[in-house]
Structure 1
Amino acid sequence: MNPVFTIRGMTMGYLHIDGSAAATLAALALAALAFVAMRLDSAALHRRLKAENEARRLWNRGLADASLDGLLVHRQGVILMMNRALVRMLGVREREWVGQSFATLAQDDHVAPLRAELEAPQTALAEFTLLRADKMPLVVEISSQAMEFEGLPATATAVRDITQRRADAEKIARLTHYDALTGLPNRELFTGALQAALAGTTRGQAGVTLLLMDIDNFKIQNQQLGRVGGDMLLQMLAMRMLSLLTTEDMLARLGGDKFALLLGASGPPNRGASLGGQLLAACGEPFIVEGRLARLTLSAGLAMYPEHAAEAEALLRVAELALGKAKESGGGLYVYRHEDQRPQRITGPAPETLRGEPRVLYQPVFSLADLSLAGFEALPRWQHPSRGLLGPDEFMPLAESAGVAQELCGQMIERACAESLAANVPRISLNLLELSTNLPARIAAILRKTGLRPEALEIEVSEAQMANRPEQGQLLRELQSIGVGIALDDFGTGATTLNALRHLPLTRLKIDRRYTAKLGLDRNADAMLGATLTLAASLHLEVTALGVETEAQLALLREAGCHAAQGRLLGEPASRPVARPASRREAAMG
């Protein structure tokens, strides 16, 4: 009985062969058994090595997933593995990207540079912008190291998110070089740009034009408007000046109420004087700050290189000298003259236009069914310091010539919506002073800002505004889509056709006060009332009568079935919408 062992010395079994003639057979059997034992032992070794490799792979994967930085394993940029941090960073699923090019995750202008870096990694850190799955940009820095992955050469690339760090650095740089209030370059950045511009002229570029500007009597404006209002005025002034400049020009706030302008090299030689005059004229137009009118005048000094100075500091001093002369002389634009060594006036201060401040008055509107309050009409007015309270026909032409018509209307609408919401009135009607293409967007923005429900707002347009202007119908439809009502004001005074009425998105007709005044005295006026009510009923419109001043007019309107009315009999315009105004009729009855 002969034992049979494995190559590791373990007993596999026993072999017994009878007879001496079987010696050869025994040897062969032993050799066969040894071969089988070796194969069995080799398979066990292979299984053990595979288990060790899997354990090592899981260990490496666990180590990679434990890293706070992203880790990418790739061959020539083709993804083999991404750790958990990188998957979270990019907002992707690893299995969907294995086998894909990592460079395709970069923003368009970084795809080619990132591909080159992954195919031939450099020793220095490289910076790229990737796009997350939600398309948000991600600024990263990467570094790579050669490695072996699954028995073959590969590259491990560490990916670190530096988006916040970059944003913080940019914020610090912005605070260092830009004015926090206006967003304009500050004195330090402007001085550096001026020096660079002067250095550029020595390399064949055109001359340099410098303009210094200062607000006249800004301290008084600041006291009248308050600190917040004064800051808003500076911001609005900066925006207005920027609108006149090109991308080559640099406007800076040097501090307080002083601004500086460095003109680009392109343009005619006299552009500085011409642009300076435009800036003074534009800034002389009114500004509307928190519902109040503010007017500015500027003083400005102009200097040019190389005509007036050879260095940046000297050029600034020359411009300061011209600015000082402008302020002494009551404003305007001055330039330094070499001939007589003194500043010379180029243009005077801007002329005065619109003065005063906007106001909104509120007239109550009553339901004629039960004389309950139906809402208010907001009446835009302008309080002029010498001419008193002006209506739209008087102040709108001035506002349009001053270029503030849209801004003024927007502020009046916003005030009316906010005050109506605060007073909890059922509905507020607004007579639009201008119909611009961006009006629906502006109305929607005002409703969001004030919180007024769209159905609580009614926009009034006149027949004159709609006459021969078919494009206004689309504008009204956009307003209607917001949810506001549309009323045709002063109905009966224009030439609105039945076909036009049928196609306009109206909810109300407002009968002109001239017809209301003749009710009961003129059969034509009575007939007009009946026809209007019949027409409105067929078009599913409500009707409001304007200018009700007598009990007789009120009685005729109620008998005819008119829906609502307003006028002196029912309530005078007031500075605030009162939830339950005391009408003259109620006072008489009381």
Structure 2
Amino acid sequence: MQGIAQLLNHTSFLEQWLHSMNVAIAVIEQNNDLYTYTYMNEEMRKSFGECIGKTIEAVHTKEEVGVLARSLKLAGSGEGFSRAERVTVQSIPSTNSYILEWKKESVENNYKSMVEESPNSIIVHDCHNHLIYANHSGVELLGANHLSELLGRDVSTFIQNEPRVDIRNRLNKVLGGEPGSVLLERTIKRIDGRSIEIEMSGSRVEFNGAPAVQTLCRNISERRRKQSRLEEMAYYDQLTQVSNRRYFFNQLQVELEEVDENESILSLLFIDLDNFKDINDQYGHQVGDDVLVIFTKRVKQMLRDTDTFSRLGGDEFVVLLTNLQSSSDPEQVAERMIERVTQPIVIDEKELHISVSIGISIYPDHGTTREGLLTKADQALYEAKNNGRKCVEVYKHV
């Protein structure tokens, strides 16, 4: 005999009729002590999700499983029928299958129970983008104490840095049936004024008999902070808080790709602290570290926001100057830098004196690649050291 689930799935008229019913209907097949779903109509799918092939334990709460198991046993004991507070069970003659009809009130309560207990923040809005529901986690996410503080608000007003017309268009597409499950990361401003980072995805649902959009949200602010910290550690020197070698080479490549379009001059200043080893040997590495921190602060104070200042390692630093109008500009900057950093440094009531030597290379006169420009600046620095230190040398063609 053909199984009832197969009959339901292959008899188009009966299938369409069951799918159109505003009642959650399903078929369960018994195999020893296991009860497995073999058919469900659309209302059942909306209420419980995809059930076919799953046992009742995998679909329902413990309380529901208890009610359902008792009803199934009663229906299979010879009565052929069982009615409980939430579900009606009818055995199918000459089969080991049962038809279930869940009461609408039970289905709605099941949905609300699952949503309220969900660790995700769930927010529902209507076709006018007005918030009509949020679970407890969603209320907290939006900075409210009670759902009543949020009802009726335009959900697009929470999202920052995105035109409202784009937000509404995206939400309307979801309402129109287009897939909306793509994860988006956005900044939202809560009703308490605090901004947080969230991850969200939306889908079309029926809410109180009308089409709506259900959005699942997660607060990812802490994850973003950790990512930012990791990026900072990857690209910045932890002692001096200036960018490191890796960041410098990346930025230099970017600037080289754009310099011709800007029709401007680009230059490298290769900087080395003179006799820095003597400070470490005489006063210790802690004082040496303090000197490096003070030195970098002085240099940063005299540079523009568009300039890049990086520590290559040890007492070697490099400055990338961009958007220069004259090839004489780098040398003038370097001379002012020497004057600024040679001012006395006081640490633990000790007055220390430092100086720097600087080698300069200029694009495109001295090179057009990262390696070429840095090599030429290094050669110019070598000349500055040989010329008595505390001076500036521009690369000269041999």
TM-score between both structures, scaled by the size of structure 1: 0.47
2:309 corresponds to 1:246 = no
- SS of residue in 1 equivalent to 2:286: helix
- Give, in whole Å, the separation in 2 of the partners of 1:63 and 1:111: 33
Kindly indicate whether the alpha-carbon contact (under 8 Å) linking 1:104 and 1:111 is maintained by their aligned counterparts in 2: no
- Give, in whole Å, the separation in 2 of the partners of 1:330 and 1:281: 16
Distance 1:224 1:82, change over 3 A: farther
Aligned pair partner of 1:306 in 364, 372, 375: 364
- SS of residue in 2 equivalent to 1:263: strand
Map 1:56-71 → 2, pairs under 5 A: 56-71=107-122
Kindly indicate whether the alpha-carbon contact (under 8 Å) linking 1:110 and 1:129 is maintained by their aligned counterparts in 2: no
Deviation at 1:54, TM superposition (A): 3.7
Distance 1:225 1:98, change over 3 A: farther
Map 1:188-203 → 2, pairs under 5 A: 188-203=246-261
Q: Where does residue 321 of structure 2 map in the other structure?
A: 263
Structure 1 unaligned blocks of 5 or more: 1-47, 342-590
Deviation at 1:52, TM superposition (A): 4.1
Which residue type is aligned with residue 84 of structure 1?
H
- Give, in whole Å, the separation in 2 of the partners of 1:57 and 1:96: 23
Aligned pair partner of 2:173 in 86, 109, 120: 120
Deviation at 1:285, TM superposition (A): 0.6
Kindly indicate whether the alpha-carbon contact (under 8 Å) linking 2:198 and 2:221 is maintained by their aligned counterparts in 1: yes
2:158 corresponds to 1:105 = yes
- Give, in whole Å, the separation in 2 of the partners of 1:242 and 1:267: 21
Kindly indicate whether the alpha-carbon contact (under 8 Å) linking 1:178 and 1:189 is maintained by their aligned counterparts in 2: yes
Deviation at 1:103, TM superposition (A): 2.3
2:228 corresponds to 1:170 = yes
Deviation at 1:70, TM superposition (A): 0.9
Greater RCO, CA 8 A, separation 6+: 2
Distance 1:142 1:321, change over 3 A: same
Distance 1:61 1:227, change over 3 A: farther
- The structure whose Rg is larger is 1
Q: Where does residue 148 of structure 1 map in the other structure?
A: 206
Deviation at 1:325, TM superposition (A): 1.5
Q: Where does residue 85 of structure 1 map in the other structure?
A: 137
Q: Where does residue 148 of structure 2 map in the other structure?
A: 95
- Give, in whole Å, the separation in 1 of the partners of 2:329 and 2:265: 12
**Over the residues paired in the alignment, what is the CA RMSD in angstroms?**
2.2
Aligned pair partner of 1:291 in 349, 352, 361: 349
- SS of residue in 2 equivalent to 1:302: strand
Q: Deviations over 1:57-95 (max 9, x none)?
A: 332122112211111111243111111112222321211
Deviation at 1:227, TM superposition (A): 2.6
Which residue type is aligned with residue 313 of structure 1?
E
Deviation at 1:273, TM superposition (A): 0.5
Map 1:347-366 → 2, pairs under 5 A: none
Distance 1:116 1:178, change over 3 A: farther
Distance 1:214 1:126, change over 3 A: same
- Give, in whole Å, the separation in 2 of the partners of 1:326 and 1:134: 59
- Give, in whole Å, the separation in 2 of the partners of 1:116 and 1:224: 68
Q: Where does residue 334 of structure 1 map in the other structure?
A: 393
Task: Choose 270-279 or 190-199, whichever is displaced more.
Answer: 190-199
Q: Where does residue 294 of structure 2 map in the other structure?
A: 236
Deviation at 1:167, TM superposition (A): 1.4
Which residue type is aligned with residue 89 of structure 1?
L
- Give, in whole Å, the separation in 2 of the partners of 1:79 and 1:312: 54
Deviation at 1:123, TM superposition (A): 4.7
Kindly indicate whether the alpha-carbon contact (under 8 Å) linking 1:114 and 1:128 is maintained by their aligned counterparts in 2: no
Aligned pair partner of 1:137 in 177, 184, 195: 195
- Give, in whole Å, the separation in 2 of the partners of 1:325 and 1:196: 29
2:126 corresponds to 1:75 = yes
- Give, in whole Å, the separation in 2 of the partners of 1:116 and 1:282: 56
Q: Deviations over 1:144-184 (max 9, x none)?
A: 11110001111111111111111111111111111111221
- Give, in whole Å, the separation in 2 of the partners of 1:205 and 1:58: 68
Task: Choose 172-181 or 140-149, whichever is displaced more.
Answer: 172-181
- Give, in whole Å, the separation in 2 of the partners of 1:135 and 1:292: 48
Aligned pair partner of 1:55 in 106, 113, 117: 106
- Give, in whole Å, the separation in 1 of the partners of 2:379 and 2:271: 12
2:284 corresponds to 1:226 = yes
- SS of residue in 2 equivalent to 1:337: coil
Q: Where does residue 33 of structure 2 map in the other structure?
A: none
- Give, in whole Å, the separation in 1 of the partners of 2:338 and 2:271: 9
Kindly indicate whether the alpha-carbon contact (under 8 Å) linking 1:214 and 1:300 is maintained by their aligned counterparts in 2: yes
- SS of residue in 1 equivalent to 2:241: coil
Distance 1:281 1:163, change over 3 A: same
Identity %: 29
Deviation at 1:116, TM superposition (A): 4.3
Deviation at 1:294, TM superposition (A): 2.1
Deviation at 1:199, TM superposition (A): 1.9
TM-score between both structures, scaled by the size of structure 2: 0.68
Aligned length: 290
Q: Deviations over 1:282-305 (max 9, x none)?
A: 000112223332221001100001
Distance 1:280 1:147, change over 3 A: same
